[in-house]
Amino acid sequence: MSESLQVPFDQAIEDSTPITPAFLNWERSFVSGPNSPLFEVEHRLSNQNPDLLITLVKFKPTAEGPPGHVHGGATAALIDEVMGVLVWHNHNRCVTEKLSLQYLRPVPLKEDAVLFTRIYTPDSKEAKKIEIRTTIYNKTKSPCVHAQGLFHRLSEAQLEVFRKHHQE
């Protein structure tokens, strides 16, 4: 698996703009939606690089796994969602095909964290598969979880199925 993303923290966060996720049912998402029981999340797009998403997260007590730490499944769900936020925001209508995670250290439950997510596929607007990488950092800026995802672009017919269910 690739190494953690190297990003200048404070500068990247300062030079970003909050966004609302563009995928169809974000407002109902149990992961990063406004009523998430697990996380309080703010997604921010880099002003310098539209392929870089910065996500600020506060973990709620319901995300606990090992005592005092976030459940690995909760971090996996968060990473998958954050990757989806970035691809959809960049007008790539995709779903997760493959997600690989490397747990480097436990994520403390009562501390804020930041995720840096980047698209690594050149010309992603035309690609059928899009590679994305995400790293969760703790408050001391140490990497906790590194992930690599492969997203599959939906055909118009596949996308229409999602649109139909969204309207119901």
22, pLDDT greater than 70: yes
- How much of the chain exceeds pLDDT 70, in percent? 92
Q: Are 96 and 84 in contact (CB under 8 A)?
A: yes
Which pTM was predicted? Answer: 0.88
d(CA 34, CA 28): 8
1: in domain:
no
77: in domain:
yes
21: in domain:
yes
Task: Give the pLDDT confidence of 41-99 residue by residue, as tens digits.
Answer: 999 999 999 999 999 999 999 999 999 999 999 999 999 999 999 998 988 888 999 99
**Domain total for the chain?**
1
d(CA 74, CA 53): 19
2: in domain:
no
Q: Tell me, what CATH number does 85's domain have?
A: 3.10.129.10
Give the other-Cβ count within 10 Å of 34's Cβ. 11
Supply the pLDDT for residue 100. Answer: 98
Take residue 6 and report the two structure tokens written for it: 């190297």
19: in domain:
yes
Range of the domain at 31: 9-167
Task: Give the pLDDT confidence of 107-158 residue by residue, as tens digits.
Answer: 999 899 999 999 998 776 778 999 999 999 999 999 999 999 999 998 888 7
